[in-house]
Amino acid sequence: MATKKEIQNEINGILWKACDTFRGAVDPSEYKNYILVMLFLKYVSDVWQDHYDKVKAEYGDDEERILRRLKRERFVLPPACTFQALYGQRNAANLGEVINEALDAVEEANKEKLEGVFRNIDFNSEASLGQTRERNTRLKSLLEDFNDPRLDLRPSRVGHLDVIGDAYEYLIGKFAAGAGKKAGEFYTPPEVSQLIARLVDPQPGERICDPACGSGSLLIKCGQQVGSKDFSLYGQENTGSTWALAKMNMFLHGMDNARIEWGDTIRQPKLLADDKLMKFEVVVANPPFSLDKWGQDEASADHYGRFHRGVPPKSKGDYAFITHMIETITEDSGRVGVVVPHGVLFRAASEGVIRQKLVEANLLDAVVGLPANLFYGTGIPAAILVFKKHKRNRTVVFIDASQDYEDDTNQNRLRVEDIDKIVAAYKARKTVDRYAYVADFEEIKENDFNLNIPRYVDTFEEEEQIDIGAVQKEIDGLNGELTEVERKMAGYMKELGL
């Protein structure tokens, strides 16, 4: 019997091959939607068939009773909307329209979980998929690729749901690698997500939020970190198609009760209760770096009072997201883990004022410097800031993890041992030579609240002292050897008459 890893690799390979249908003709940032939606439909169709077969074995040919039982499943799939039903119509002259109608019906049958998810994904788009004949050819090829008998996604074959969730994450990562700068808008590398999840350490019963959730990978990692199903997930995403990916990603990971809202977190936060910002024990995010035009014009009159420490500059929205996150954590045990560019640590003007107030309020708990080239679309190094309410002391631990990574072909990657080392240093809160330093409030104040890591962690390595006498002796020896070689060469030249 095939192992989970073998099944996973086989599924991943088939899915990546299916992308050939679009490569070179459609932008990866566009065709990822078609591939991922088709994976979603294939998965729910196979699960539905698996459940149908089991119920049929119990109820025999009583179709009415079978369908009544299936309506109580976590997901309902109308008979005409299964993947196999669409595959049967692969030669239809209006194939794009047929797929759109099926997705609309799937959404209608599962409104609570999927309302609006497919509205931004048009399988009948001439602009994205070409004119009718070309479009039909691509869509038929896509259906045929997904009809590969090895792409059997029934739970009775693939077992645990994470096989499908992992395939989804695999594809998102692949698309991110090809999407360049756009990738950062929807994807956080899994190793970075794992690190953040361990730093904020979500506990059973806690509410976890990502206000810039992209495709939801960081939220999912935090949920998995809990170690049980006793948690709740919340997120908001500004880009419609990426919001749809997050909704599907949650479902494929068995977290379809997550509340994922669509909209601009800074201008129009959607996670509200009684017209106030909801509070969460854990808030994490990898927001867009130094976002321009983030909404500064409206910030001074913010309905939710988030910018009382100061308004960030118009062209750099980093502290807008940080401020929002801190304002949405609970007073007793709230904590934040956020990815930021290094400029956040030392830029002056309004950002310097906000940074100083955060340190003075004893909210900053850790600054972790990461290796360069970890994130798709940017080679610059980033840092993780950890904020906490009700800290036990007024210290901040600085960690320089910039030199610990695996150098992959296109991206650097944190290894398990690198993540373990960072987490251990964070928890121990002890100075480690050339790696970690625990600074108290007065020292940070003396540094004018500049958080640049080299001010605290000294990574300078003294050059090995040179023994001048030994070097001179070596030079003299080499000169002697050179003189002997020249003497021999002169003798050879003389013998040759040259």
Other beta carbons less than 10 A from residue 233's beta carbon: 24
Domain 4-159 CATH (choose: 3.10.310.10, 3.30.70.270, 1.20.1260.30, 2.60.40.10): 1.20.1260.30
Which letter, b or e, does each residue of 421-459 get, where b requires 16 or more Cβ atoms within 10 Å of its Cβ?
Answer: bbbebbeeeeebeebbbbbebeebeeeebbbbbebbbee
Look up residue 356 and give its two tokens. 């100083």
CA distance 404 to 416: 11
CA distance 293 to 287: 14
Instruction: Please list the pLDDT of the chain residue by residue as tens digits (498 residues).
Output: 677 788 888 888 888 888 888 887 777 777 888 988 998 999 899 989 888 888 888 888 888 888 888 888 888 899 899 999 999 999 999 999 999 999 999 999 998 888 889 988 899 999 889 999 999 999 999 999 999 998 888 877 776 556 777 787 788 777 776 655 444 455 788 899 999 999 999 999 999 999 999 889 999 999 999 999 999 999 999 988 889 989 988 988 888 889 999 999 999 999 999 999 999 999 999 999 999 999 999 998 999 999 999 999 999 999 999 999 999 999 999 999 999 999 999 999 999 999 999 999 999 999 999 999 888 767 788 999 999 999 989 999 999 999 999 987 678 899 999 999 999 999 999 999 999 999 999 999 999 999 999 999 987 655 566 777 777 888 878 888 888 888 888 777 777 776
Which run of H or of E encompasses 207?
A: strand 207-210
For 182-455, which CATH superfamily applies?
Vaccinia Virus protein VP39 (3.40.50.150)
The span from the CA of 213 to the CA of 188, in Å, is 9
Beta strands in 266-331 (DSSP E): 272-273, 276-277, 282-285
Comparing CA positions, the residue from 130, 137, 28, 147 lying closest to residue 83 is 147
**pTM of the model as a whole:** 0.86
Token couple for 467: 């023994």
d(CA 18, CA 423): 39
Q: Tokens for 386, please give them.
A: 């950890």
